[in-house]
Amino acid sequence: MYGLKTEACFDSAHFLTDYYGKCENLHGHRWRMVVYLKQEKLQEEGTMMDMVLDFGVFKKEVRALAEEFDHTFLVEEGSLKQATMELLESEGFTLKVLPFRTTAENLARHLCERLREKELPVSQVDVFETPLNCASYFAD
């Protein structure tokens, strides 16, 4: 079995619904995502021969996804009033509405699924909410 690993960071705001503690308030993180690929065999021909995947291709996809989340407000769908959403958007804020509670665990799963849609053999995504706290999602 072979593996590759790369990472990217994005800054975004969020809050947790139905949470009693500091995280119920709007706050931000520098989210660090670490993406692991796992593949049984190396490529057998072409420019990627004897590689899992070209690092350039891997990094490009991971960075594009991080870019999509960077400097946004991650909002769980239905957690803010429609009027609030419209007001925030009218003020020029970029909302990223997600169909789940915006925990690091759910983000790890979502990011993993998004990268697997790009045909990357992703086996694991770690999402660090702080330098010392990390949630992981395992694809298999």
Which residue number places its CB atom closest to Zn ion? Answer: 23
Least separation in angstroms between residue 33's CB and Zn ion is 15
State how far the Cα of 51 lies from the Cα of 32, in Å rounded to an integer: 25
Distance of CA 57 to the CA centre of its chain: 17
The smaller minimum CB distance to Zn ion, of residues 51 and 88, is found at 88
Q: CB-wise, 52 or 104, nearer to Zn ion?
A: 104
Nearer to Zn ion, 11 or 86 (CB): 11
* Count of residues that interact with Zn ion, criterion CB under 5 A: 1
* Binding to Zn ion in span 16-75, by CB under 5 A: 23
Nearest approach, Cβ of residue 113 and Zn ion (Å): 21
**Range 38-43, long-range pairs (CB < 8 A, 24+ positions):** 38/1, 38/2, 38/3, 38/121, 38/123, 38/124, 39/1, 39/2, 39/3, 39/121, 40/1, 40/2, 41/2, 42/2
Question: Least separation, in Å, of the C-beta of 14 and Zn ion?
Answer: 6
Q: Summarize as ranges the residues that interact with Zn ion (CB under 5 A).
A: 23
